[in-house]
Amino acid sequence: ETGVTQTPRHLVMGMTNKKSLKCEQHLGHNAMYWYKQSAKKPLELMFVYSLEERVENNSVPSRFSPECPNSSHLFLHLHTLQPEDSALYLCASSRGTGGLDEQYFGPGTRLTVT
């Protein structure tokens, strides 16, 4: 699926580092999402942006900071992470039409915090 791209694909960072994950969608969608996928756990919704406005923030620690400068780009800024934050971080996008809205995922960033 080339409609949603994510960079980098792999990231190793120390607990004191600051890094950013980038997501870009080429589908003309109006909603974008960040998910966290840890081993043997369900996908966890972290943030939702609809028309560049943050509409969901699911009790995510402040060491994760999202940014949506326009409807095609979404960032996740990371700082002072913990080893338990190691996971696959997935970006998704959708048209933004509500209940029957299909979400399409990017390839993910595999994050390892050392």
Partner 1 sequence: QKEVEQNSGPLSVPEGAIASLNCTYSDRGSQSFFWYRQYSGKSPELIMFIYSNGDKEDGRFTAQLNKASQYVSLLIRDSQPSDSATYLCAVNPTSAGGYNKLIFGAGTRLAVHP
Stretch that binds partner 1, among 14-22, 67-75, 76-84, 104-112 (CB under 8 A): 104-112
- Of positions 3, 20, 65, 107, contacts partner 1 by CB under 8 A: 107
Residue the block writes with tokens 């996008």: 93
Binding mask 39-68 for partner 1 (x = CB under 8 A): -xxxx-x--x-xx---xx------------
Interface with partner 1, residue 104, by CB under 8 A: yes
Could you give the CA distance from residue 74 to residue 65 in angstroms, rounded to a whole number? 11
Least gap, CB of 60 to partner 1 (angstroms): 14
Give per-residue burial for 36-58: e unless 16+ CB within 10 Å, then b: beeeeeeeeebbbbbebeeeeee
Q: Phi and psi dihedrals of 31, rounded to 5?
A: -125, 140
- Of positions 23, 106, 111, 113, contacts partner 1 by CB under 8 A: 106
Query: Which residue ranges make up the site for partner 1 (CB under 8 A)?
Result: 1, 30-31, 33, 40-43, 45, 48, 50-51, 55-56, 88, 90, 94, 96-108
